Amino acid sequence: MFCEFTQVRSLASVPGGSDRGKICRCMMRSVMTNMLTNRYRVVGHKRKLAFKNCTVCKVVLEAVKNSSKSAFMDSDILTEIGDLLRNAPNQPGSSNYKKNSL
């Protein structure tokens, strides 16, 4: 368990961007696929799992705090993670993704 946690933390400690949204998106993309993010919600309801209770959530929170120069609160970071998880079904690689045809 400890070895896996440190490996994921080192993977997620890549610089992500200038604001918390960009950093969260970069961290989540480096750790999870769209198919996996489609199964989670921040607090978990409507047949989805709670992401807030996962070890990956703690890793992402820590990585976002370490990679940014300004101090972000956990609630602000969880809001960005919630936006990402909410939009996961609309991204390529997800089970519900429908490509727009022109």
Residue 57 lies in a domain: yes
CB within 8 A of 46, min separation 6: which ones?
none
User: How many structural domains is the chain composed of?
Assistant: 1
Residue 97 lies in a domain: no
HSE-up of residue 92 (Cα within 13 Å, Cβ side)? 2
Q: Would you say residue 99 lies in a domain?
A: no
28's CB contacts (< 8 A; 6+ apart) are 37, 60, 81, 84
| pLDDT, tens only, 48-102 | 899 998 888 888 888 888 777 777 888 998 999 988 888 876 666 665 666 665 4
Question: Is residue 14, in this structure, part of any structural domain at all?
Answer: yes
Query: Domain range for residue 78?
Result: 2-90
E strand intervals along the chain: 40-41, 49-50
Q: Is residue 44 part of a domain?
A: yes
Q: What value, to the nearest 5°, has the Cα angle with vertex 28 and ends 82 and 14?
A: 135
What are the residues facing 41 on neighbouring strands? 50
In a domain? residue 100 = no
pLDDT in tens, 31-43: 888 788 888 889 9
